[in-house]
Amino acid sequence: MEKRNFSAGENAAADNKCWKAALYLRLSKEDGDKEESDSITNQKELLRSFVRSTPGIEAVSERVDDGFSGANFQRPDFQKMMEDLRAGTVNCVIVKDLSRFGRSFGEAGRYIETL
């Protein structure tokens, strides 16, 4: 699988590459829903809007772990997303910010580096 950082300013279509993205959303009970910008609904709209406005990206799955801590990576939909990555169903993961992927930035970095 190709490792590449993708920013909104790049155009994957120019490389004849279509990124098949998993949209990953997470909100733990500890996060609560006090900040509207972190709610699952708002994360979903933000990510969908990004995909709509960025040529060369197709959202092929949405994985949501609502009520799960980001302190570990044994979350049900996170594991399904990882299976999708390993199977080649998706080749890109889009999150609102790195804390939605996982709270342990060291462990999150390991995932990013190896996959």
65 part of a folded domain = yes
Domain around 104: 16-114
| Res 38: pLDDT | 67
Please give the pLDDT value at position 106: 76
pTM: 0.77
Whether 7 is in a domain gets the answer: no
**Residue bearing the bigger pLDDT, 108 or 21:** 21
Alpha helices in 1-115 (DSSP H): 40-53, 76-87, 98-101, 105-114
Of 113 and 24, more confident: 24
Residue 60 lies in a domain: yes
Q: Give, in order, the Cα–Cα distances in Å from 62 to each of 11, 14, 21, 34, 74.
A: 22, 25, 9, 23, 17
Residue-wise pLDDT tens digits, 57-67: 999 999 999 99
The count of domains in the chain is: 1
Domain presence at residue 5? no
Give the SS3 label for residue 24: strand
The residue among 43, 46, 42, 34 whose CA lies nearest residue 8 is 46
- Identify whether 2 is part of a domain: no
> What CATH number does the domain containing 44 carry?
3.40.50.1390
**Which whole number is the average pLDDT over 74-102?**
93
Please check whether residue 75 lies inside any domain of the structure.
yes
* DSSP code at position 3: -
